[in-house]
Chains A and B, each alone.
Chain A
Amino acid sequence: MSLDFTFMAKYWEMFLQGAWVTLQLSFFGVLLGTVFGIFLALMKISKVWVFRALSSTYIEIIRGTPMLVQVFIIYFGLVPFGLELTKFEAGIAALTINSAAYMAEVFRAGINAIDKGQAEAARSLGMSHGMTLRHIILPQAFRNMLPAIGNEFIIIVKDSSLVSTIGAAEIMYTARTVQGAAFKPLEPLLVAAAMYFVLTFTLSKLLSALERRLQKR
């Protein structure tokens, strides 16, 4: 059996559009997931037990349930409650909700790994809790966490393929469509795989370049 990619002449534009959707899903998933993740991490190390409890509960529930189920709940399950999201919005919401839980754990571990003396030195100079986090703790934690954050980014890019199940026209959805339209079972999937790989590999290279730059300082 030989591989036949001639269908690409007709469908390449569709794939490119799919890649663009995947890129947008990933970008917003990463961005919002990081923001909410920091927020959750700060709640989890807070002195206020209500914050800690809320954050822990959220993280446990999200990590303990499949993302596919989360995607379906957000897109189909919330309609009776009057929340009708577009496929794209639902996709971003699911990726954000999911990645925030994992990011929170990465951030929490990174913050806890910074020596207590750092915060004490900053506070002893008169800096507030917030300033200490922003100028002393987070910059150091971020550098240590970069490999783990990179991992999480890559997972988000790949997990965005799950959004194809609600019909968002990203790479995976496009591949499935082309499979049917071109009567090719394998080749469109290989194209999809290659596209995901290019995305994640580029991301991974960008992150290690950033890591090197921070290391050099």
Chain B
Amino acid sequence: MIRVSGLRKSFGKNEILKGIDTEIKKGEVVVVIGPSGSGKSTFLRCLNRLEEPTGGQIWFEEQQLTGKQSDLNRIRQRMGMVFQQFNLFPHMSVMDNLTLAPRKLKNQSKGAAEKIAMELLKSVGLEDKASAYPDSLSGGQKQRIAIARALAMEPAMILFDEPTSALDPEMVGEVLDVMKRLAKNGMTMVIVTHEMGFAREVGDRLIFMDGGVIVEEGDPRAIFENPQHSRTKDFLSKVL
């Protein structure tokens, strides 16, 4: 579904990504972990070019994503993103947050878009919040809405950038539950997270990043139980 080769990213003289090669298959749930500053969020943000890569190539559904002539807006419609800070649109109701993009970009009628949105709200357990504004929601509710907003575009894949890091501990579970359900239903997901238990349980594949490179990748359970690389061992010993 997405193929990355030789991906590099520098901010000024500071090289954050030093050549990333990987491939993510349809339906795969890839969990990216690593110490802060390892480049894992930058890697994720390069996948939909919210960060402009300095080098390397990315293909998504056989289309080249890097390069000037690629239709980025069209590609992004197929690749949702969920942010650490939720980034709901505060001047719109929950319903409008969900329906704006489908109506404007996919020419869905108001009625059709709202019907889909209502289904999605139901699936994240927030159908009673359709007319609420983001200000009145808890962090966990906001993030569930943000996931529903990404789903409303019916993407082929969703990127999650530390989706539970800004949440109070008691709200982490409700968001992870929604993500688990997505994973079970076959959504292709790339998740940058600090939730090791979740990574082990839900991930089909784990990527451990440090210093701008992929240090180790493979089956999450195998890596958690028997890390091959000393840096992986070192990191896991600190967080587990």
Report the minimal beta-carbon distance from B97 to chain A, rounded to whole angstroms: 9
Q: CA of A128 to CA of B73 in the docked complex: distance in angstroms? A: 6
B9 CB to nearest chain A CB (Å):
16
* A117–B83 touching, CB < 8 Å: yes
Asked if B100 is at the interface (CB within 8 A of a chain A CB), the reply is yes
A121: B residues at CB distance < 8 A: 81, 83, 87-89, 146
The chain A residue sitting closest to B76, CB to CB, is A126
Tell me whether B50 and A120 are in contact (CB under 8 A). yes
Residue of A whose beta carbon sits closest to that of B101: A125
Taking the closest CB of chain A, its distance from the CB of B15, in whole angstroms, is: 22
User: How far does the Cβ of A142 sit from chain B's closest Cβ, in whole Å?
Assistant: 9
Q: Is B77 an interface residue (CB 8 A)?
A: yes
Complex-state Cα separation, A122 to B77, whole angstroms:
10
Residue B222, interface by CB 8 Å: no
B38 in contact (CB, < 8 A): no
B window 130-155: CB within 8 A of A: 133, 146, 149-150, 153
Q: How far is the CB of A171 from chain B (nearest CB, A)?
A: 38
Q: Contacts A135-B104, A217-B133 given; indicate if A124 touches B89 (C-beta within 8 A).
A: no
Min CB–CB distance B186 → chain A (angstroms): 21
Residues of A within 8 A of B101 (CB): 122, 125-127
| A140 part of interface (Cβ distance < 8 Å) | yes
Query: Bound complex: CA of A180 vs CA of B22, how far in Å?
Result: 86
Does B212 make an interface contact (CB < 8 A)? no
Contact of A136 with B50 at beta-carbon distance under 8 Å, contacts A125-B77, A126-B105 already known: no
Question: Is B91 a contact partner of A140 (Cβ separation < 8 A)?
Answer: yes
Is B153's CB under 8 angstroms from A126's CB? yes
Report the separation of the CA atoms of residues A201 and B80 in the bound assembly, to the nearest whole angstrom.
48
Q: Which of B73, B85, B87 contacts A126 (CB 8 A)?
A: B73
Find chain A residues with CB under 8 A from B91 CB.
Answer: 139-140, 143, 217
Size category, A interface = 10 to 19
B238 within 8 A of A: no
- A122 contacts which chain B residues (CB < 8 A)? 89, 101
- Kindly identify, within residues 178 to 217 of chain A, every residue whose CB is under 8 Å from any CB belonging to chain B: 217
- Majority secondary structure of chain A interface residues (helix, strand, loop or mixed): helix
Asked if B90 is an interface residue, CB under 8 A from chain A, the answer is: yes
Flag whether B66 is at the interface (Cβ < 8 A). Answer: no
| B-facing residues in A111-141 (Cβ within 8 Å) | 115, 117-118, 120-128, 131, 135-136, 139-140
B153→A135 contact, CB < 8 A: no
How distant is B70 from chain A, measured CB to nearest CB, in Å?
A: 13
In the complex the two chains form, is A125's CB within 8 Å of B89's CB?
Answer: no
> Is B164's CB within 8 Å of the partner chain A?
no
Q: Please name all residues of chain A whose beta carbon is closer than 8 Å to the beta carbon of B87 when the two chains form the complex.
A: 115, 117-118, 120-121
Contact with A along B92-107 (1 / 0, CB 8 A): 0000000011001100
Given A118-B89, A140-B91, A123 contacting B133 (CB threshold 8 A): no
Known contacts A143-B91, A217-B133: does B105 contact A125 (CB below 8 Å)? yes
Q: Determine how close the nearest CB of chain A comes to the CB of B146; give it in whole angstroms.
A: 8
Instruction: Please tell me if B42 contacts chain A, counting CB pairs below 8 Å.
Output: no
Provide the bound-state CA to CA distance between A5 and B83, in Å.
Answer: 67
Taking a contact as CB atoms under 8 Å apart, the answer to whether A124 and B80 are in contact is: yes
Q: Is the CB of A124 within 8 A of B76?
A: yes
Residue of A121, A127, A128, A140 contacting most chain B CB atoms (<10 Å): A121
- Contact call B83/A125, Cβ cutoff below 8 A: no
**Contact among B48, B90, B100, B133 for A124, CB-based, below 8 A:** B48
Which residues of the other chain, B, contact A117 by a CB distance below 8 angstroms? Answer: 83, 85, 87
B60: min CB distance to chain A, Å: 13
Contact partners of A126 in chain B: CB under 8 A: 73-77, 101, 105, 153
6 pairs of residues in contact across A and B, judged by CB atoms under 8 Å: A117-B85, A121-B89, A124-B150, A125-B80, A125-B149, A125-B153
Which residues of A come within 8 Å of B, CB atoms?
115, 117-118, 120-128, 131, 135-136, 139-140, 143, 217
Q: 8 closest A-B pairs (Cβ-Cβ)?
A: A126-B77, A121-B87, A124-B81, A117-B87, A125-B101, A126-B76, A126-B73, A140-B91
